[in-house]
A and B are shown apart, each in its own frame.
Chain A
Amino acid sequence: MKKTFLFTTLAGALFASTALAADGEPIRIGVPVGLSGANSVVAPSVVQSAELAVEEINAAGGVLGRPLELVIADDASGAAGAQKAFDALVYQKEVDVLISMETSAARNAGLPIVARGKVPYIYTSFYEGRSCSPFLYVNAWVPEQQVPPIVDYLKAEGAKNYFLIGSDYAFGRGMLEFARSYVESTGGTVVGEEYLPMDGSDWTAIISKLKASGADALITSTAGGAPNVTLSKQLRGAGVALPYANLAVDEGTAQSMGADAEGILISASYVTGIDSPENTAFLEAMKAKFGDELRTPNDLSVPEYEAVYLYKAAVEKAGTTDTQPVLDALAQVSFVGPRGTIQMNAQHHAPLTMYLGQVQADGSVSVVESFANVDPGAQCPDL
């Protein structure tokens, strides 16, 4: 179980930390995450969140007197890499729990391994919804929570004709499918819905269609990172100035787009601008711990932080790290974090406060409106 941290550091990745505040056999938290591949842009911020949570908890005496230990593994943002990562974590490192933000493909690939290895798995990424397993809990948003605020806002601004653009993958299609049905249920019209392959980089034809469609609002759901940036650059280059809501951009990516991102509407369960003592403390702690290395905390990384605390609460409630008691306890505990009070329900998903924000010229997000405790709906009625 010897680990060569040197290389990890060399690779620019962030390494697992073991604090010394508590003694006893450490509780291992496996974090399979996309250090390489599509998620590699956001992954470092996720790892930082987890590290802060572990450090804080260990400094406060650990969990049941045992310290927490992070074990990070690269899932390469895809199924094949996820299988390796889950195998390594579940069978080689023998972690007690998996807490991670991943692509849907990676999550799906990991689920059979989780089920076979009987390990609790808290998934901390927003996703297209309806992934159900006795071992899986989700503390991030699903379309039912995220889309309505944005469409309602656009409608209030006078939008009637919507154009939808997505990357051709499960999340892209899943989000826009929900968006279409919600738009239509509120009396709007979808005048166009177009997809480009995930690795596609030429949006020319779609943008021309958008311009010709007479749409008065644009909703996009592209794969995180590169496709978001590519589409925004080409939209701005083509002079598109419609009200533009992006269902899949986080604050960090928005910053790397510079002026091209200005005005984009986002709907999230976390923005850095949330005005609460918990968020202020969190941001300060992050800044203190990581300094210049800090990756902007975002809607994909903060749930990771909270999930570590939720796990702590569940273990303490169950009095053990054994799988079944912890799984039972996870539906009963809550944690007040940067996003507010988080409690996952019997269907293993969490009601969340959603924030409608707008990207400013400097890349920061200002909150336009918030919606408290939006319910995820019936995600897993069979659980």
Chain B
Amino acid sequence: MSDTLTASPRPFAQRRALILGGLAVAALALVLLGPLFLDRFSLNVLTRSMIYAILAITLDLLWGFTGILTFGQAAFFGIGAYATAMLLTHVGSSPALIGGALVLAILVPMILGIAVGWLSFYYGSTPIYATVISLVFPIVVTQLVYSGGTLTGSSSGLVGYMGLPFGLEGFFRLSGLCLVLVAIGALVFVRSDAGRVLTAIRDNETRCAYLGLNTQRIKIVLTTVLAGVAGLAGFLYANASGVVAPENTGFVFGTELVVWTALGGRGTILGPILGTIGIDYLSANLSGELPFLWQLIIGALFVVMIIFLPNGLAALVARFTRRGRNEVVTGGGPTLTVSAATHHTQQGGGPLLSISKLEKSYGSHKVLEDITLDVAPGELVSLVGPNGAGKTTMMRCLTDGKERSGGTVRIAGQDIAGMTPDRIVALGVGRKFQVASVFESLTVADCLRMARSALDTPSCIATAHDLGLPQAAVEILQLTGLDRLLATEVSLLSHGQKQSLELAMVVSLEPRLILLDEPTAGLTKAERTTIGGILRKLTAEMGFAAILVEHDLDFVRDISSRIVVLHQGRLVLDGSVDEVVNSEIVKTIYSGGENA
């Protein structure tokens, strides 16, 4: 990390576009000219490999980029292929019907994609559950195909229907063209601002939700769209191969896709493409002569790869070629601009936050009991109390409508009962966690952009050159020097820098109420003073309300407008700084507690 790079954004983006363009032209030339020098066998095999590669891209977007391990893409592929073959077999074949088959092959998987997405992703669902569903889905589909009789051709599959009237070369070019288009689309998307959201979800889904992003809906939409792409691949397959069979839909095929993607390199687009084409082509050449040994080699390679090189061969290549990934970059990144406040500016009457008889219990054990509290705009309320008093639990109850066991919490007059964090964020609440919750593999600028993406819908194709943030957020960045590190990857920042970055992200949400859980923990004296100044400015001058959980009583005394004391889950004191600091109760509670 000794050498720091200086980069300017424009030429870099342009160079990237140039490389991408060059790559695309080269790839197009390859697939268009391929038939001139490839023999029939290679043409045939590569046509299929390229279709599988399209599928691998969809899997990679889900797994490599978003962190959803799925075996279900095979089923969407199979459904697309069967939709095509069944229509052409049972209804007949004409240009119009082939067009209809294309539409069906994309639409049917998408509809099922919505269903699978709905089943897999809901508030509180676990990654492993989504994987479970992705296992069950292809098994059910395969079983349906087997029991479909003449409709699906059962185990024999469907064969002999008339699809697109292309020859071997035609299908090679068509599949290649589709692959290049899908690959370019994917490459552009993952490098766009919207594409970064996927990585953000993989890195830290909780943070995404607390930035106001409905991550479950994003994942459902992603599943649906990629189901459609998988269906398109199925359509191509059904036409190019002239046969569809149950194994095209199955869970074993799903695992094969995962193997190819893993070996090629998840989290890159080119890795899975090359992995799929390479392995499928090799296996077509070798498996005839050594079926079992080939499987053995692939299996062993897969195990070794997952353990030692989880990001596949692409990671190995990238290690030698990519610069600037693991280095602090000074300067560069987008241009910071101050955007006018766009949201939450209208002030209703009454308190901003109104808590009434809040209660939280685990079984018979009550962690919070009978908490009643109002917070008005401009107030900076500190929440103090010994460990286990229920402070963090209370913060959770204010930002997740499903947490509390009793009482009501109203934000700007609205009851948050049953609301998920992203909806509460939309009401104007920002939460900073105790341990800095940021996106480790994104750059500082991308993290900040993520905080804005619920407000400024990010582009699916481009990276914006400007980064518009509220005045307060820009000031935090300038005070902490983060404004010069916009292009640096977050994992390289210091602890204090991450804390400041998270605060800037929370402020970028333009919240009316900020909840901060020990924002100064582990910071130096200077950093504390900076953060304290920022908080005072936010509340006293800019009219935010803030609730601060803090152990450092000196810090609390300096900046608070009001202090609330929690003890054993109850609110024992609520008053001005002087009242609380001088009260006997606090001295008793803290005697020997906090300074020890």
- A105 adjacent to B289 (CB under 8 Å): no
Contacting residues, chain A, for B160 (C-beta < 8 A): 111-112
- A109 adjacent to B243 (CB under 8 Å): yes
B162 → A minimal CB distance (Å): 11
Judge whether B37 is part of the interface by a CB distance below 8 angstroms.
no
- A7 adjacent to B245 (CB under 8 Å): no
Judge whether A73 is part of the interface by a CB distance below 8 angstroms.
yes
Spot the interface stretch: B41-49, B339-347, B489-497, B563-571: B41-49
Judge whether A279 is part of the interface by a CB distance below 8 angstroms.
no
CB contact between B246 and one of A76, A81, A105 (< 8 Å): that residue: A105
- A91 adjacent to B154 (CB under 8 Å): no
- B289 adjacent to A4 (CB under 8 Å): yes
Most chain A CB within 10 A, of B40, B283, B291, is at B291
B43 → A minimal CB distance (Å): 8
- B156 adjacent to A104 (CB under 8 Å): yes
- A79 adjacent to B247 (CB under 8 Å): yes
Judge whether A338 is part of the interface by a CB distance below 8 angstroms.
no
Contacts A173-B149, A197-B143 given; does A112 touch B243 at CB 8 Å:
yes
- B159 adjacent to A88 (CB under 8 Å): no
Judge whether A101 is part of the interface by a CB distance below 8 angstroms.
no
Judge whether B288 is part of the interface by a CB distance below 8 angstroms.
yes
Contacting residues, chain B, for A35 (C-beta < 8 A): 291-292
- B154 adjacent to A169 (CB under 8 Å): yes
CB contact between B245 and one of A8, A13, A88, A109 (< 8 Å): that residue: A109
Contacts A87-B284, A109-B243, A173-B149 given; does A198 touch B155 at CB 8 Å:
yes
CB contact between A87 and one of B44, B149, B283, B291 (< 8 Å): that residue: B44
- A87 adjacent to B41 (CB under 8 Å): yes
Residue on B nearest A85 in the bound complex, by CB: B288
Binary flags per residue of A101-141, CB closer than 8 Å to B gives 1, else 0:
00111011101110011000000000000000000000000
Contacting residues, chain B, for A13 (C-beta < 8 A): 290-292
Judge whether A304 is part of the interface by a CB distance below 8 angstroms.
no
- B284 adjacent to A105 (CB under 8 Å): no
- A170 adjacent to B44 (CB under 8 Å): no
Residue on A nearest B142 in the bound complex, by CB: A197
CB contact between A103 and one of B155, B241, B284, B292 (< 8 Å): that residue: B155
Contacting residues, chain A, for B245 (C-beta < 8 A): 78-80, 105, 108-109
Judge whether B118 is part of the interface by a CB distance below 8 angstroms.
no
Residue on A nearest B39 in the bound complex, by CB: A91
Binary flags per residue of A193-204, CB closer than 8 Å to B gives 1, else 0:
001011000000
Complex CA–CA separation, A36 to B291 (angstroms) = 7
Judge whether A11 is part of the interface by a CB distance below 8 angstroms.
yes
Complex CA–CA separation, A13 to B155 (angstroms) = 26
Judge whether B316 is part of the interface by a CB distance below 8 angstroms.
no
B254 → A minimal CB distance (Å): 13
Which residues of chain A (62-96) have a CB below 8 Å from chain B? Answer: 72-74, 76, 78-81, 83-85, 87-88, 90-92
Complex CA–CA separation, A7 to B155 (angstroms) = 31
CB contact between B292 and one of A12, A88, A90, A198 (< 8 Å): that residue: A12
B280 → A minimal CB distance (Å): 9
Contacting residues, chain B, for A92 (C-beta < 8 A): 39, 41, 285
Which residues of chain B (94-121) have a CB below 8 Å from chain A? Answer: none
- A88 adjacent to B285 (CB under 8 Å): yes
Judge whether B295 is part of the interface by a CB distance below 8 angstroms.
yes
Contacting residues, chain B, for A383 (C-beta < 8 A): none
Judge whether A10 is part of the interface by a CB distance below 8 angstroms.
yes
Judge whether B147 is part of the interface by a CB distance below 8 angstroms.
yes
Contacting residues, chain A, for B143 (C-beta < 8 A): 197
Binary flags per residue of A17-41, CB closer than 8 Å to B gives 1, else 0:
0000000000000000001100000
Which residues of chain A (257-311) have a CB below 8 Å from chain B? Answer: none
Binary flags per residue of B230-246, CB closer than 8 Å to A gives 1, else 0:
00000000000111111
- B39 adjacent to A171 (CB under 8 Å): no
CB contact between B290 and one of A7, A197, A198 (< 8 Å): that residue: A7
Complex CA–CA separation, A4 to B44 (angstroms) = 23
Judge whether B189 is part of the interface by a CB distance below 8 angstroms.
no
- B284 adjacent to A3 (CB under 8 Å): no
Judge whether B168 is part of the interface by a CB distance below 8 angstroms.
yes
Contacting residues, chain A, for B248 (C-beta < 8 A): 79-80
Complex CA–CA separation, A346 to B317 (angstroms) = 60
B147 → A minimal CB distance (Å): 6
Judge whether B302 is part of the interface by a CB distance below 8 angstroms.
no
Judge whether B306 is part of the interface by a CB distance below 8 angstroms.
no
Some 27 contacts from A to B, beta carbons below 8 A apart, are A4-B290, A13-B290, A79-B244, A79-B247, A80-B247, A83-B48, A83-B241, A87-B45, A90-B41, A91-B40, A91-B41, A92-B39, A105-B246, A108-B153, A108-B156, A108-B157, A109-B245, A113-B44, A168-B147, A169-B146, A169-B154, A169-B155, A169-B156, A170-B153, A170-B154, A173-B149, A197-B146
Other A-B pairs, 12, CB within 8 Å; known A3-B289, A113-B44, A169-B156:
A10-B290, A36-B292, A74-B287, A79-B246, A104-B156, A105-B155, A105-B246, A105-B247, A108-B156, A108-B159, A111-B159, A168-B147
Point out residues on A near B: beta carbons under 8 Å.
3-5, 7-8, 10-13, 35-36, 72-74, 76, 78-81, 83-85, 87-88, 90-92, 103-105, 107-109, 111-113, 116-117, 168-171, 173, 195, 197-198
Chain A to chain B: the 3 pairs with minimum beta-carbon distance, closest first: A79-B245, A169-B155, A91-B41
